[in-house]
Amino acid sequence: MTHSQHQDHNPELETHTSPLPAVDAHSTSVTYGENTVLNDVTFAVPSGAFVGIVGPNGAGKSTLLKTLVGIIEPSAGSVHIYGINPSRSRGLVGYVPQSESVNWVFPVTVWDVVMMGRTPSLGAFRYETRDDKHAVMDALHRVGLLHRKDDMIHSLSGGQRQRVFVARALAQDARVLLLDEAFGGVDVGSQYELVAVLRQLCEEGQTILLTTHDLANMARRLDMVLCLNGHLCAWGPPDEVFTPDVLEELYGPHVVSAGSSYTI
């Protein structure tokens, strides 16, 4: 979907100046069969915010992201991306999947991966226009990987791979970026590079939500933190959210002693 096409859905939509929240979840619940994975989650992310979603395994972090991109329907409540239902806002939302769900041995180049962001907008037999190529080039430039465009994706480090996927979301013209386990398989040095790129994109008006296990490295770099454990435990700026009570609710009492020594 091209940018002009999502404007067809909503001609008023100007994401940079939109008074609408970039992401708006209202009493959202998701159930699989009899399991309630997300229960009555409400939050609103302002445009341009850099948000971390933290919580233990099985807390519903990935489910929340998949609900925001529209591949899982909430069983109750609603989610909106700039006021649009996710099933109709696909081009607006870019998604960086968990590293484990990607088939890294598949023979694609960095360029091919970023061009995938243009797939829905390509024409018959998927002919790539000059606009498509320009968008891919621009996206790679923004994440600082244009010089690696002809390399095979599997030859890149974990952090570089994540940046390639971020570039794919940019090439797609996404305004909201969702990263699932953004730091899985990414060493600490590369984490800083990745975060610097993401931070810069937020300055440019992107809204970014990422899920992570890594509280200590991330907390002070985020604008807002959403603590999830099936339900919403806490939501706000990191120094307000990471209290011993919230950490205990998230990870159990044994983490709190470690949490008290960690500075935000």
Part of the chain binding another protein (CB under 8 A), chosen from 16-24, 30-38, 91-99, 250-258: 91-99
258 is a site residue for another protein (CB under 8 A): no
69 is a site residue for another protein (CB under 8 A): yes
89 is a site residue for another protein (CB under 8 A): no
Q: Render the chain in DSSP notation, one character per residue.
A: --HHHHHHH-TT--TTT-SS-SEEEEEEEEEETTEEEEEEEEEEEPTT-EEEEE--TTSSHHHHHHHHHTSS--SEEEEEETTB-GGG-GGGEEEE--GGGS-TTS--BHHHHHHHTTGGG--GGG---HHHHHHHHHHHHHTT-GGGTTSBGGGS-HHHHHHHHHHHHHHTT-SEEEETTTTTT--HHHHHHHHHHHHHHHHTT-EEEEEES-HHHHGGG-SEEEEESSSEEEEE-HHHH--HHHHHHHH-THHHHHHHHS--
264 is a site residue for another protein (CB under 8 A): no
Phi, psi at 44, each rounded to 5°: -135, 130
Q: Which of 17, 35, 125, 254 binds another protein (CB under 8 A)?
A: 125
Pairing type for strands 76-81 and 23-32 reads antiparallel
Of 99, 84, 87, nearest to 182 (Cα)? 99
122 is a site residue for another protein (CB under 8 A): yes
109 is a site residue for another protein (CB under 8 A): yes
Binding residues for another protein, total number by CB under 8 A = 31
117 is a site residue for another protein (CB under 8 A): yes
- For residue 161, is it left (φ>0), alpha (ψ between -120 and 50) or beta? alpha
148 is a site residue for another protein (CB under 8 A): no
Q: Which of 26, 75, 83, 102 binds another protein (CB under 8 A)?
A: 102
Nearest to another protein of 140, 234 (CB atom): 140
Part of the chain binding another protein (CB under 8 A), chosen from 111-119, 181-189, 242-250, 253-261: 111-119
33 is a site residue for another protein (CB under 8 A): no
Q: Which of 93, 143, 225, 227 binds another protein (CB under 8 A)?
A: 93
123 is a site residue for another protein (CB under 8 A): no
Q: Which of 8, 42, 85, 126 binds another protein (CB under 8 A)?
A: 126
Nearest to another protein of 137, 152 (CB atom): 152
103 is a site residue for another protein (CB under 8 A): yes
Minimal distance in Å, beta carbon 72 to another protein? 10
Q: Which residues bind another protein (CB under 8 A)?
A: 1, 69-71, 90, 93, 95-98, 101-103, 105-109, 112-113, 116-117, 119-120, 122, 125-126, 152, 165, 168, 172
